[in-house]
Structure 1
Amino acid sequence: MDKPESAGNDYDVVISGASLAGSAAAILLARRGARVALLERRSDPEAYKVLCTHSLTACAYPVLDELGLVPALEKAGAIRNTARWHTRWGWIEPRAAPGGPELPYGFNVRRSTLDPLIRSRAAQTPGVDLLLGHQVTGLVREAGRTSGVRATTPQGEREIRARLVVGADGKDSAVAKLAGVPARRHENARFGYLAHYRDLPLRGGTSQTWFREPDMAYAFPNDDGVTVLAVLPDKKRLPAFREDLEGSFLDFVRALPEAPPVDSAERLTKIIGTVDYPLHSRRPTAPGIALIGDAALTADPLWGVGCGWALQSAQWLAEAVAAAATGRGDLDKSLAVYARRHGRRLRGHQYLGADFAKARPFNPLERLMFSAAARDEAVARHMHLFASRLIGPLRFLNPLVLARAAAVNIRHRRAAAPGA
C-alpha cells in the first residue's frame, strides 16, 4: 500500500530512544502507515538497560502479542511471571480457580535479551529507520509547535523534521526538558540494590516478593536460569549499606522468611542499585510532542510495572495518533485522546505508588486486603489482577470485594478465638 507523502517532512514521526517504549511505538506506528525515524543515542544495537526489574507484568501481554514477540520470548527462555507475596499474615499465593482459566501472566526476561530483540524487530519493520548513535540535542520549532529534532550523529550534526516528535528517552528525557515540559516529583523513602544469581532455587519456581513494612525485597526468576534478587529497604538503613554493601545486602536477604539460599548460589553480577529514585510524572503531550514510557511517568521499582507501562503507552499512542501523524487527521486532537487515556489508565496507580513510596506501614485498607488475600483464594486472585495492573484502584477496592475481605477476616478471627 502506498503511504501518504510527508508534506515536506523527512518522516511522519521521529522517536528519541530505541528501548522498549520507543521500539514498540516505532513498530506499531509503521504498521499503521507512518514513516518513522527511530533514534538511539547508543551505537551498539545490543545495548540494554541494566538497572531494571526485568519483568513484564501481565498488562503488557496484549502489546507483546500485537508485536508478535510472545513466541520469540518463549523461545528465548522468558519465564511466565506468576508470583507469591509474603506478608505478616503469611503468604499470598494466587491460583487459578478450580475449572477456571489460568491466571493472566507476563514474562520475566533479562533486558540483555529483551532490548536487542525488540530493537531488532523494529529495525526489520518496513517504514522504520533505526538510526544508532543519534542523540537529540535540540528541537525544531515552527509556529509555536515542535516540528522536528536536531541530533548529533557519527557523521556530525543533523536536523530531522517530522509531524510528531516522541520522547521515549527515559526519566531524564531530553525531549521533555527541551520542550519545557515540567515533571512532578514524588520522593521515594526507599533505596534499592539488586544482583543476578544462577542456581538460586525459589519455592514453586515463581517470583517472590516480601512486604516487610516498610522494607521490601523480591526475587524474579528469568531466562537462562538467572534470578534477579533485589532489596528495597527504608532509607534509615542506608548508612549500614554504605558502610558495607555486600554484607548488608546478604544479611538482609538471609533474614527473609523462606530466604533464597544466596550462599550456595553463583552470583553473576556486582550488587548494583540506586540510593535515590524519586517517582515523577509529566503531562504526556505538548504541541507536536508525545512522551511515552519513563519519559511520561516513572513508577516505584518495587512494583515491577515500568516495562509494562512503557509498552502500553507505546500502544496507546500508536492507536491514537497514527492516522493524524500521516496527515489523515487532526494531530492535536489525536494527542489529546492519547493524553486522556494515559491519565485515565495510570494516574490512579501512580497516586497509590507514590503514597506507598513514603515507606509507611500498611494503611487500614491495605491491611484488610492483604490479610484477606493470605486467607482466601478469590481475594488472592483479585489482588493478582491488580498487581498485574489489569484492573485499576477503583475496581480493586470496589465495595463487593471489600465486603468479602471483611467477611474472610471475621471468619478467620472467629475460628482462631479460644473455644471456637
Structure 2
Amino acid sequence: MTQPEPAERAAIQDYDVVIGGASLAGCAAAILLARRGARVALLERRSDPEAYKVLCTHSITAGAHPVLAELGLLPALEKAGAVPNKARWHTRWGWIEPWGAETDARLPYGYNVRRSTLDPLIRARAAQTPGVDLLLGHQVTGLLREGAGGDARTVGVRVSTRDGGERELRARLVVGADGKDSAVAKFAGVPAKPYENGRFGYLAHFRNLPLRDGISHAWFLEPDMAYAFPNDDGVTVVAVLPDKKRLPAFREDLEGSFLDFVRALPEAPPVDSAERVTKIIGTVDYPLHSRRPTAPGLAFVGDAALTADPLWGVGCGWALQSAQWLAEAVGPAAAGRGDLDKALAVYARRHGRRLRGHQFLAADFATARPFNPVERLMFSAAARDTAVARHMHLFASRLIGPTRFLSPVAVAKASVVNLRHRRAARGQRAARASSSAA
C-alpha cells in the first residue's frame, strides 16, 4: 500500500468528529454519527465506564422514544426494568388523569430509569459501535483553532489523558456534550444566557414506596412543586422543589423539612413506611440557560446547548433528541460528504424551532410565580376533562410544542369544559338550596 507524502499526512484528520462528554447526549451523538459513516472520538473525563449522573430526574420524556428506538436501546431498557412514565398531576382543581383503560393503548410514553442503569448501558452501546473510539479518562483542556476573531474555526481539541499525558485530536467537527458548565463552550468563547430559577430542589430514592396505579405523580402547589417517579429495581425518586423563600427554614433541618414536605402532599406517598436507599441530595441554585447550538466547526448537544428547569424532567429526553437532530443534519458532512457549515445551520434552526418555545415558557414559570390566566384555564379544564388531560400529556411529554398546546381549538375546548363545569356547579348549588328550603 502506498504511504501518503508528509504534506498529505499532515492534512489527514485524526477523526471526523470529536465529542467532549460521554453521557447521554454524547453517547447518542457518537452512535448516530458513526452509523452515518463518521469516525468519532468520544471523550470522557471520568475513567470509570460505569460512571453516571447522580442529580437528575431519572426520566426520559415520550418525545425521545423514537431516539431510543433508533439507538436500539428499547429491549435493553425493558430488560433492565425501566418503568413507562405514565403520570397524574395534582392541581388546586383536582387530579389531572390522562391515563385510563380507554387511553393506555393510544398515548405514547417514555421511561423512568435510574442513571446508574442508563448511563453505563448507553456508554457500552457507544463503545461497541463500529467507528467510535471511547476514550475514558480524557478531558478537553483546550481547542485547536484556525483563523482569528470572527473567522476563527474549531478544528480539534487538546486533551489530558488518563496517564497524565497530553494529546491533540484534529477533527472536522467538535461537539460539546459536556453539560451546562461546558468546558468546550468556555474554550470556544460561546456564552450562555442564564434565566433565574426561583425554586431550589432536593431528592431521595426510596424502595417499596407504593403510588396509586403504580404511575408517576406530580404536585403543582403554586409555587411549590414535588414529584414521585417509580424507577427500575423497585426504587422511586421523590423530589421537592419549593419556592426559594422557604430555603432558610428548609436548611435548618434538611431531612426533617424534606420529609415533612412530602408528608403534607395530597395523597402523599408513604415515605415513613418505605426504605430510603440514598442520601437527600439537591441544589439550592439551578438556573436555566441556553446558548447558540453551533459555531464554526462546533456544535452543542444536551445541557451544553440548553439547560431546562429540572421540575419538568425534560433534560434526558432533550439530550437524546438534540443528538439525533445533530446526526441527521450533519452526518454526511461530518464524514466529508457535504458542506459542514450549511449542515450546522440546519441543526441550529431545528434545535431552536423545537426547543425555544418550551424554554421560554419554562423560564417564565421558573420565577415561581402563580399560574397565569391561560395556565389556570388549561390546568383546570384538564382536571375536569379526559380529552384536555390527554392534550396536556402530549405537551408535558414534549410531543407537541406551545403553539399547538395553546392553539385556538385547544383553548376553546378548555373554555367550553370550564363553562359546563360552572353551569353544573350552579345547578348543584341551586338543587341543594331548594332541598334545604323544603
Scaled by the length of structure 1, the TM-score of the pair is 0.98
CA contact (8 A) 2:87 2:99 kept: no
Query: How far apart, CA to CA, are the structure 1 residues paired with 2:162 and 2:110?
Result: 37
Counterpart of 2:156 (choices 143, 148, 153) is 148
Correspondence for 2:59: 55
The answer to whether the 8 A contact 1:6-1:12 is kept is: no
Please tell me whether the aligned partners of residues 6 and 327 of structure 1 are also in contact (alpha carbons under 8 angstroms).
Answer: no
Structure 2 residue aligned with 1:12? 16
Mapping of 1:19-418 within 5 angstroms? 19-95=23-99, 98=102, 101-143=105-147, 144-155=152-163, 156-417=165-426, 418=429
- What SS does the corresponding residue of 2:78 show, helix, strand or coil? helix
Q: Tell me, what secondary structure is at the counterpart of 1:419?
A: helix
Q: Distance in 1 between matches of 2:411 and 2:101?
A: 19
- Structure 1 distance, partners of 2:334, 2:194, is 31
Structure ID, larger Rg = 2
Relative distance call for 1:162 and 1:365 in structure 2 (3 A) is same
Cα deviations by residue, 1:344-387 (Å, 9 ceiling, x for unpaired): 00000000000000000000000000000000010000000000
Q: Distance in 2 between matches of 1:90 and 1:317?
A: 41
- CA–CA separation in structure 2 for the residues paired with 1:136 and 1:341: 27
Give the distance between the partners of 1:406 and 1:46, measured in 2 at CA. 50
Match of 2:5 in 1: none
Superposition deviation, residue 6 in structure 1: 11
Aligned partners of 1:297 and 1:44: how far apart in 2? Answer: 26
Cα 1:99–1:18 shift into 2, 3 Å: closer
Superposed displacement of residue 8, structure 1: 1.0
Q: What are the superposed Cα offsets for residues 369-411 of structure 1, whole Å, 9 maximum, x if unpaired?
A: 0000000010000000000000000000000110110010011
Amino acid at match of 2:18: V
Query: Counterpart of 2:306 in 1: which secondary structure?
Result: coil
Quote how far apart the aligned CAs of 1:279 are. 0.2
Match of 2:430 in 1: 419
Say how many residue pairs are matched: 416
> Displacement of 1:32 after TM fit?
0.4
Deviations for 1:185-232, whole angstroms, at most 9, x for unmatched residues? 000000000000000000010000000000000000000000000000
Cα distance, 1:419 vs structure 2: 1.7
Contact 1:37 1:131 in 2 (8 A): yes
1:374 is paired with a residue of what secondary structure? helix
**Which structure 2 residue ranges, 5 or more long, are not aligned?**
1-8, 432-438
CA drift at 1:7: 5.2
Q: Deviation string for 1:30-75 (max 9, x for gaps)? A: 0000000000000000000000000001011000000000000000
Q: Cα offset for 1:99?
A: 7.5
Report Cα offsets for 1:289-311 as digits up to 9, x if no partner.
Answer: 00000000000000000000000
Q: Which runs of 5+ in 1 are unaligned?
A: none
Q: Tell me if structure 2 keeps the 8 A contact 1:96–1:102.
A: no
- SS of the residue corresponding to residue 390 of structure 1 reads coil
Displacement after TM superposition at 1:95 (Å): 2.4
Q: Secondary structure at the match of 2:38?
A: coil
Partner Cα distance (2:250, 2:307) in 1? 25
Deviation at 1:96, TM superposition (A): 5.6
Letter in 2 for 1:92: I
Preserved contact between residue 6 and residue 326 of structure 1 (Cα < 8 Å): no
SS at match of 2:203: strand
- 1:142 to partner: Cα distance: 1.3
Deviations 1:70-127 (A, max 9, x none): 0000000000000000000000010268488421000000000000000000000000
Question: Identity, % of aligned pairs?
Answer: 83
1:239-266 deviation per Cα after TM superposition (whole angstroms, max 9, x unaligned): 1111100010011000000000000000
Give distance in 2, aligned partners of 1:6 and 1:382. Answer: 56
Partners of 1:238 and 1:385 in 2: CA distance: 33
Verify the 8 A CA contact 1:96 1:381 in the aligned structure 2: no
CA contact (8 A) 1:108 1:220 kept: yes
SS across alignment from 2:348: helix
| Structure that is richer in helix per residue | 2
Deviations 1:278-327 (A, max 9, x none): 00000000000000000000000000000000000000000000111111
Distance in 2 between the 1:272 and 1:97 partners?
Answer: 36
Over the aligned positions, Cα root-mean-square deviation in angstroms equals 1.2
Give, in whole Å, the separation in 2 of the partners of 1:154 and 1:89. Answer: 55
In 2, the alpha carbon distance for the partners of 1:203 and 1:7 equals 62
After TM superposition, the runs of 4+ consecutive aligned structure 1 residues lying more than 6 A away are none
